[in-house]
Amino acid sequence: MRQLWLLALPIYILSAQVHAQSALTPRQQEGQKILMTSCGLCHEKPDILNPAVAPHLSRSTLGGHVDDIIAYIKTGSNVMPSFKYMYNDEQLRSVADYIISRPDEAAEGHKANDKK
């Protein structure tokens, strides 16, 4: 019976992760899901050695203007598809909200190297 605490350990780790996640609002969590599904392919680094083909999306994207970000996603560009028919306004707002909650790349790099 002494090993019983071992069973509790994964549950503890899991709940800690859920807790870390909840730093995002429900809307931002929805946006995060959309970003990972539809945008990550181009906008997230495939791995440490390969650069992403598209710019990192963060609070500094388009000056952090939610409406500009939404307009961009709706329209797309000659290299980026339009998501106008794929996501409704509510979903696009979620993605934009999530994007402006993310630190910019320089800040992330700084954090990773900061050993304090």
Residues that bind ligand HEC (CB under 6 A): 38-39, 41-43, 53-55, 57, 61-62, 69, 72-73, 77, 79-81, 83, 95
Candidates 54, 96, 59; CA nearest to 74 is 96
Q: What's the min distance (Å) between Cβ of 18 and ligand HEC? A: 25
The burial class, CB within 10 Å (0-12 / 13-18 / 19+), for 2 is exposed
Q: What's the min distance (Å) between Cβ of 72 and ligand HEC? A: 4
The burial class, CB within 10 Å (0-12 / 13-18 / 19+), for 115 is exposed
Q: What's the min distance (Å) between Cβ of 32 and ligand HEC? A: 11
Nearer to ligand HEC, 13 or 84 (CB): 84
